[in-house]
Structure 1
Amino acid sequence: MNKQLTPRLLIIALVLAWAIWAVWPTFQYQQLSDSEIESLRDEGKLEQLESRSIKQGLDLKGGMYIVLEVDLPTLIENLAINKDRKFSETVNDVRNQLVISPEGDFFTIFSDASSKNNLKLSRYYYDYGSNSETIITALREEGEDAINRVLEILQNRVDQFGVAEPTIQKQGSQRIIVELAGVQDSERARALLESTALLEFYIVKEVTTTNDLMIKIDQSLKGNEVVAAVQNQLNQIKILRQKLKMKLFLLPNYLEKQKMMDQKTLIMKNSAKTLMWIDLFHHY
């Protein structure tokens, strides 16, 4: 009888040992203080401990459940190159329809509203195409890219917040669900997430557009240098012309004075000759 129980007891002991080994990281992690968590994070050991511990969701650990909605109307307003009253009215109509039908596809509603109001999208988004279908497709891609960037930045900010097991996922075309298990300071977490989402909606020009703009600025600066050099040469020529004009103005007086001096010299020479003839006459 004892011989039959020995293998069973051995198996039970092995299972218990494995269970204790599997649960031990979770026990260690739950016993850590905030200062110890920060110390392990600085040493690079916290991630390994978190990966081995049992993940507890909101139902076991408590925390926050947040639904964020990307403001796509603001996004397309920022992407528009030209804006007028008709465009603003169309965007406001889309906002109102989204309030009535929050589950509706934003870009489909925007396309329908543009057609209804006879809004030519190529006038406002000519960088994205020449027809409405191409422009709507490009705007949809911009919206998806914006949501993906929001997801990435939310993940980075939540990691800095120190949440061990966050859940961040996209729901539909414009909503993001965030689950923060174990968060106690709800106001700080909400402010962090909301500010992150808003920061993501600043539109940045493409690299090629920026480079072209910098090249044009350089060319303009070089052109200004050339203009400045030419202007300097013209100023010097103007000064020389003024000096030459002054000399030409003074030349008659100079010639007159020179003529008078020549006449005086001639008189003096003639007077000297006369005196010489008189002297010779008296001599003989």
Structure 2
Amino acid sequence: MLNISLPKQIMIWLTVLVGLTFAMPNGFYGRVETHNDAMVLIESGQTNAELEADAALWPDFLPSNLVNLGLDLRGGAHLLVEVQVSDVHASFLEGFWPSVRDALAAERDTIGFVTREEDGPETELRVRISNPEGANRAFELVRGLGRPVQTFTGAASSNIDVRLNGTLLTITLSEAEMLAMNERTMAQSLEIIRRRIDEVGTREPTIQRQGAERILVQVPGVGSADEIISLLGTTAQLTFNPVRGVAGGPDEQAGTGNIIVPSRDGTDQFYILERRPVVTGEDLENAQLDFDQNGRPAVAFRFNTSAARTFGDYTLSNIGSPFAIVLDDEVISAPTIQSHIPGGSGIITGNFTVEEATELAVLLRSGALPAELTFLEERTIGPELGQDSIEAGQIACIVAGIAILLYMFLSYGLFGIFANIALIVNVGLIFGLLSIVGATLTLPGIAGIVLTIGMAVDANVIVFERIREELKTAKGPARAIELGYEKALSSIIDANITTFITAVILFTMGSGPVSGFAVTLGFGIVTSVFTAIFVTRSLIVIWFSRTRPKTIEV
């Protein structure tokens, strides 16, 4: 007997109601988006009459999740950047020099004096010893400073290669270490870029690796690519260095262990600083916009416990001495230490605007990029292009939908109307699922929805044709409908499982547009099967239980 129990009926239509409720905000996209933006600002502590009015545009008791529009629909910035991993190699060798110097100096009686030759490439550390008889001993000592490189297969070779030519030691990174370092650099760059962009509140950016040393960045809703370039183009390497004096120019001799750094204020001021900083930006625990005693924008910062102790000890023993705050090889300010600074908190002042101070705080919170970024490609996609794409997608969906609705009605009559209702519910459920997971809709995603509309009726067609076949055996309409669903179920499941597996593979192995297409296709398959097997059948059961027809036409 054709029947669906009341609890099952309730579960079916409750699922439909929840899905359509989550899809509903997309029908009021502008209002809901304004409401969401206002709520974010209110939750951050800001409040005024305008924000309250924007927040009231959408009821709080209704879902406010939206399907995010991708770059091709919303417009925004498209950037392709290359990470200069060679900078990290050079930085490692620069930091490795003190260890080499100290190890060789411990056996000066055998090795002699040690000097570093500066004329070599950045990828090499060249060390000259004065005693030829101690060359082999120096070679052994330096090679002993190497550390094993950890790989997926375990510990590999040393992280350094050492060559001896007379009294000249040449130290380079091993190939295994360079590969491992490149992977670490790319992973760190991806994470920092993601944090910087997320800090400014952009919606669903696409940040993914392209090749060995490149990163693709797509940020919807941004008016210009220059905004993202200014955010990402700063390495944000912050250090606090002792000041040893003022230099007359960049070519002046700084002395051993010192560097000459220009001032950031645009003057011709140069400072002689100790190369080794007291603390660095990596030790920061927080940074945020603040104002100094004169009401000018500044950046307040706080170190972690270890760095706070180091910074406090330094200020205690150097009262009256200047120290420099250096950002990306430029001195922001060089104040004099007036008193002991315990607790590790301070403030960075300078000729900042509010926007500049806010951006600097964002950069410091997200961390310093391990290497410089080179922008290979930059494009700003206008929202007009996105609006044209949305309108074209809407037209495609409407045309496909109307054609299928007419076909199903003309082919199957009343049963076709039931299938059409399920098709409309199906599209709503797709948008409900996309809203729940916070997916990003792109042009390929719209193509996936249009394809789903075409595929959605397949299951109903299979069921209706089976019912037609069963009606010819004169088993009665109720038994024909029941057998039609039972015998069609295996075909429906088999056909949709293969397509769903394809969507999973596309999502797992693809990226960008391919992934967006796979998401909408996968969701469409799930909702299509649900609406065909449960929603359409539920409608037929409700109709049949009320009318009890002696014969039916499919």
Higher strand content, 1 or 2: 2
TM-score (norm 2): 0.24
